[in-house]
Structure 1
């Protein structure tokens, strides 16, 4: 962890909270063909993305199953092909394999992909706390998925399940070292605290344990601007488009909590979900979980039929109960 984060005092109230996110990492794509290459690989409209925005995207197998989800944004316009044209933020546990796999398909395109030494943190504030934060950092983006580049780094407005404002803050060593004044406006929070808020907002992060398991729709990627159905081909596009246009999506990702402080969030990814009212095969699988102060937040993929009346259980029909709760967006057909 960078020394900057160690300089942030631990204070739970009265100021914006900053959580170092060492489970996330950033890669770049440079070269004249970087954007067009990735446009043909990801579920998102890469070339049509506004310069001041970020978006979710997925990278799929030919069968439409997700190998990764990422937050992506375009680099600043530059005269040199050596300048990054694209940034992608992904789970650290799959980043090396993802970059290697994408690089296999570059062929003759003028593009180079590589991990970069940028630090990712999550910053969360009430509207009142945001004023002090902006006095130190500069004007921050307020609209969800809006992006701003400041001397302190790149700030991306993240979705939230409540009135709190949330940002991903991506910064270099030099930018953190020049942000001493900003540290005094922050309180140090745990990664689990930020991750629990991510889950409540319905943001799916595919990790190594859940690769090649879900199609984009079953983790709601299409409901949160993570899939373009007009951009053209990419690996798995036929499967994703068929499910969309035929209206055959019968499984979605839901949110819930588990009152069991002994559970470790990272270890739950990929664990089966059961309905105690219908003993038999599993009805779903955990996408991601986080244990924040003894309450386990969990995103899980399941059948729409199991919601909201199912007696949902983790790992077995008599396992810990999952108390389903609404996401900030609808997962059921209108």
Structure 2
């Protein structure tokens, strides 16, 4: 049972900026393992994790939740990115692999601003036929509402732009980048601090961009990472952040005056130049790692 006595009153609302790409067939898991940046082989049926697809130069094309449905089926929950283009590009690497890569627009994706009473951690509940539910709550965080995500054939009524915007802002507050097309293929996993989400592996076998990711990890070459910032004016992805007479970082995701920015790791709120800056640091929440 949910810890929230009002959970049953919390409405589901469509996340129209999320779409589902399904990989199905004998080689679905092996293909996902060879192409994506996290260890798909470590997942059991009924589990999911954050994952992504990189260019050969180690830049993130798309970040998604990868769900192991069964031994021959993987679902990718893709926010923001062009899912049609992602599926098309993935098919170019099929070669002789026995699998189908298809968009599942018959399955709807919805969110709810309360913790799931069924799913927890990286374990989902339900069935591919009737729908599944994931817990997207930020564990170990006080003061932030829980969240649930549902994927199923039914269309949830009650489209609500305000709730969708709040969902996006909560993603950013937890350090989950929401990359629009202008920020695709611009950043490495380390620059986006995706280790906070356990979203990539440096121990599994080869995948596109793996050499760059592993070298950066083992040589300690990451000099920039993700920070949550708030500005005096609305932010736009791609906006450069000034500090004094220098540009110190770039906004990669935005929700009104809140944004995730790639900044030098040694820059912090105690920097003397922050007093006159038009933006400031906000504390990042945690607990979205799966």
TM-score (norm: length of structure 2) = 0.85
Deviations 1:34-55 (CA, angstroms, capped at 9, x unpaired): 1101101111111221222211
Unaligned runs of 5+ in 1: 1-11, 78-83
* 1-structure distance, mates of 2:8, 2:148: 18
Match of 1:323 in 2: 280
| C-alpha deviation, 1:308, in angstroms | 2.5
Q: Indicate the residue corresponding to 1:274 in structure 2.
A: 242
Match status 1:41 vs 2:35: yes
Once residues 152 and 258 of structure 2 are traced to their aligned partners in structure 1, the CA distance between those partners, rounded to angstroms, is 28
Listed one character per residue, the Cα deviations across residues 14-48 of structure 1 (whole Å, up to 9, x for unaligned) are 94253421111111011111110110111111122
Which residue of the partner structure matches residue 216 of structure 2? 243
Say which SS state the counterpart of residue 191 (structure 2) adopts. helix
1:242 to 1:259, Cα distance in 2 relative to 1, 3 A? same
Q: Paired residue for 1:52, among 46, 52, 57?
A: 46
- 1:154 has 2:132 as partner: yes
Q: Which residue of 1 aligns with 2:267?
A: 306
Between the aligned partners of 2:96 and 2:46, the Cα distance in structure 1 is 30
SS where residue 194 of structure 1 aligns?
helix
Q: Which residue of 1 aligns with 2:77?
A: 89
* Contact 1:122–1:168, Cα closer than 8 Å, also in 2: yes
Instruction: Check the 8 A contact 2:80/2:179 in 1, yes or no.
Output: no
- Quote how far apart the aligned CAs of 1:101 are: 1.0
Deviation (angstroms), 1:220: 1.2
The 8 Å contact of residues 19 and 189 in structure 1, kept in 2 or not, is answered as: no
Q: 2:248 aligns with which of 283, 298, 321?
A: 283
Out of 165, 170, 180, the position equivalent to 1:207 is 180
- Per the TM alignment, residue 307 of structure 1 is displaced from its structure 2 partner at its CA by 1.9
Counting only pairs closer than 5 Å after superposition, residues 1-334 of structure 1 correspond to structure 2 as 15-76=9-70, 85-117=73-105, 118-125=107-114, 139-143=117-121, 145-149=122-126, 153-160=131-138, 161-162=141-142, 163-173=144-154, 176=155, 190-260=163-233, 263=234, 268-276=236-244, 279-280=245-246, 282-291=247-256, 296-310=257-271, 321-329=278-286
Offset at residue 67 of structure 1 (A): 0.7
For 1:305 and 1:45, how far apart are their aligned partners in 2?
Answer: 30
Say what the alpha-carbon RMSD is for the aligned residues. Answer: 2.9
CA distance in 2, matches of 1:159, 1:149: 18
Contact 2:58 2:210 (8 Å CA) reproduced = yes
| Cα distance change of structure 1 residues 61 and 16 upon mapping to structure 2, 3 Å threshold | same
Query: Any unmatched runs of 5+ in structure 2?
Result: 1-5
Higher Rg:
1
Would you say how many aligned residue pairs link Structure 1 and Structure 2? Answer: 276
* Cα distance in 2, alignment partners of residues 300 and 326 from structure 1: 13
Structure 1, residues 288-308: CA drift from partner, whole Å, max 9, x if none?
A: 1113xxxx2211111112222
Secondary structure of 1:217 counterpart:
coil
Shift of 1:189: 5.0
For residues 159-186 of structure 1, the C-alpha deviation after alignment (integer angstroms, 9 at most, x for no partner) is 425452211222213xx47xx9xx8xxx
Residues 19 and 194, structure 1, Cα contact 8 Å, conserved in 2:
no
Checking the alignment, whether the CA contact within 8 Å between 1:60 and 1:236 is kept in structure 2 is yes
Shift of 1:148: 1.4
Match of residue 5 from structure 1: none
CA contact (8 A) 2:35 2:207 kept: yes
